[in-house]
Amino acid sequence: MTARRSCPPAPGPLEGYATQFDPLLASVAQRRGFRDYLQGLLLPRDRNKTLTGLAGAEPITGAQHREVQRLQWFLSESAWDHEVVNDRRVRRLCEDPATAPNDRGVLVLDDTGDRKDGTATAHVARQYLGSVGKVDNGIVAVTSLWADARVYWPVHAVPYTPASRLPGGERDPGFRTKPQLAVELVQAAREAGIEFQAVVADCFYGDNPGFTNALVAAKVPFVLALKPRRGTWAPAEQAHTPVEAAGELGWRSPNRPGQWRRIQRCFRDGHSETWWAADAQLGGWGPERRLRLVVASTDPARLPGHSSWYLLTNLPRPAGRRAQQADLAEVVRLYGLRNWVEQGYKQVKGELGWADFQVRSDRAIRRHWTLVCCAFSFCWQTFLAEHPDRPAPADPQAVPTAARGAQATGHPGGTGRRSVVAEGVASGAGVADPLERAGALLAVVVTSAAAPAAATAA
């Protein structure tokens, strides 16, 4: 049997990571393309990480350069399976003790949208984009992310195809709503053997009965946010919204809290906050029902919008009073882990070029996202391999009261400092943030000439 031809090695620790995927890449060109693409994503650059940017060529005039065309072929035409590559990435994360899922973590479901011009690119249409907070022309991906108090990483990502892009519209056999795609991602995570204590998601998913019913039917535990003023059927004299239900919990003062229970939340920068939480009754939801409504707030008297949560969960309520208080704290902790998805979006978008692709086909877009996730996972695994004894914080939320779409930056009301992947944001925290880390982890990449210089290199 003829031995495999070797390809030029990637610089530093990236070669060891890339070697894990070599059995999935049949040719030297594929293995080289995989290394060069990851290398380009990881290098800090002042411009978008398009194919010309990854190859270090001029944005327009360099589009036909040999190295740019080689990456274009690898991304769009070469015969490799991005799903198999992603499965290998996830399996390696599960096998590594530093990143392996455990029953204290959560599976975070969310969607992310980015502006894209025209209609020729797959899945692009006028639709709501969370990143800009309005309807605009763009592409949306539904994603799952595993997180605990120490580490977080993307699991799967699938594009959402608006009904307007399908021949049969919403009745087209291929149409899937975002909640339907999210249910499929939960199933994919379970099939991959990923442990989690609960699925968590924001109110877009919590307010969708089809989504919650599907999780109940599949016996998947969850903690999902609800809109504070979303109406629910109930007798006229009873509460009709989560806010009204919270108002019936009997709060008068910290010394006369009614049904509220004091809980303490500790954050990764060392500070702690006193919150209050309680089981509320609303319609068919209640402490002894199949579905519970848990309300948490820093101020039960005023229920400030930026620091009050209304959470729907199917986790059973324990019998004892002290156990109930611990259970409320656990429900709040689980939902607090959802904020990691905002930090993850910031990193994969701002530093690794999630939305920088300039390809049009569905396959090329999915491949680009897979490679971005590989680059993200490489940073985590390399960082944790070098810092195996970093202590885990008790509660990782950077912005515990952040609204949907806010960016976690290390502390409430953060500095807005640009963040990257795989550097400790707070002392001893072991979270991903690569501005300084990219320089240390990938200095050898920079000094080793990441890609062959184009004749018209910028």
Hey, what are 23's tokens?
A: 């059995």
Question: How far apart, in Å, do the first and last CA atoms of the chain sit?
Answer: 44
Record the tokens describing residue 423, joined without a space. Answer: 């550097």
H-only helix segments in 227-320: 242-247
Low-confidence ranges of the chain (pLDDT < 70): 1-4, 389-458
Cβ neighbour number for residue 416 with a 10 Å cutoff: 8
Pairing of strands 222-225, 198-201: parallel
3-state secondary structure of 434: helix
Structure tokens at 97: 């003790």
CA distance 276 to 314: 20
- CA–CA gap between residue 39 and residue 14 (Å, rounded): 8
| Token pair recorded at residue 420 | 């990257």
Neighbour-count burial of 213, counting CB atoms closer than 10 A to its CB (0-12 exposed, 13-18 middle, 19+ buried): exposed
Residue owning tokens 């959560």: 106
Q: What are the tokens at 156?
A: 């799967």
Inter-residue contact 76 to 108 (CB < 8 Å): no
H-type helices in 257-406, by residue range? Answer: 321-336, 340-350, 362-386
Helix axes 28-42, 362-386, angle to 10 degrees: 70
In this structure, are strands 292-297 and 222-225 parallel, antiparallel, or unpaired? unpaired
Q: Are 441 and 383 in contact (CB under 8 A)?
A: yes
Structure token pair of residue 405: 């779409």
CA dihedral of 360, 366, 371, 373, whole degrees rounded to 10: 130
Query: What is the C-alpha to C-alpha distance for residues 397 and 119, in angstroms, rounded to an integer?
Result: 38
Write phi, then psi, for 295 (nearest 5 degrees).
-110, 135
| Size of the chain, expressed as the number of residues it contains | 458
β-strands 198-201, 152-160 pairing: unpaired
Write down the pLDDT at residue 228. Answer: 94
Coil, helix or strand at residue 15: helix
Would you say 398 and 409 are in contact if contact means Cβ atoms under 8 Å apart?
yes
Q: Among all chains, which residue has been given the structure tokens 């327009």?
A: 60
The pLDDT assigned to 3 comes to 62
- Where do we find the tokens 């199949």? 290
357: tokens are 């692709």
